[in-house]
């Protein structure tokens, strides 16, 4: 699947770890316990793993 540029809204993130667990090469859980982008990109369906809609994918 094609990777696309993503952004993560830390104010919405609840730190569940679903995104980092599913896409560990592109997303990590930071020292603050919230998700952060490692590469700036991720598989285009990444937003679907977040239960609170904190990940947006640029078209």
**Contact residues: ligand SF4, CB under 6 A:** 8, 13-19, 35, 49-50, 52, 54-55
The owner of tokens 């679907």 is 48
Euclidean distance between the first and the last CA atom of the chain, given in angstroms as a whole number = 14
Nearest approach, Cβ of residue 37 and ligand SF4 (Å): 10
- Under a CB-based contact definition with an 8 Å cutoff, are residues 12 and 54 in contact? yes
Per the listing, tokens 């994918």 go with: 57
Q: How far is the CB of 2 from ligand SF4 (least distance, A)?
A: 20
């Amino acid at each position: 699947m094609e990777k696309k540029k993503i952004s993560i809204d830390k104010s919405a993130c609840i730190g569940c770890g679903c995104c980092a667990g599913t896409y560990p090469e592109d997303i990590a859980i930071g020292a603050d316990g919230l998700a952060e982008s490692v590469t700036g990109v991720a598989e285009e369906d990444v937003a679907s793993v977040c239960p609170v809609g904190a990940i947006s994918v640029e078209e």
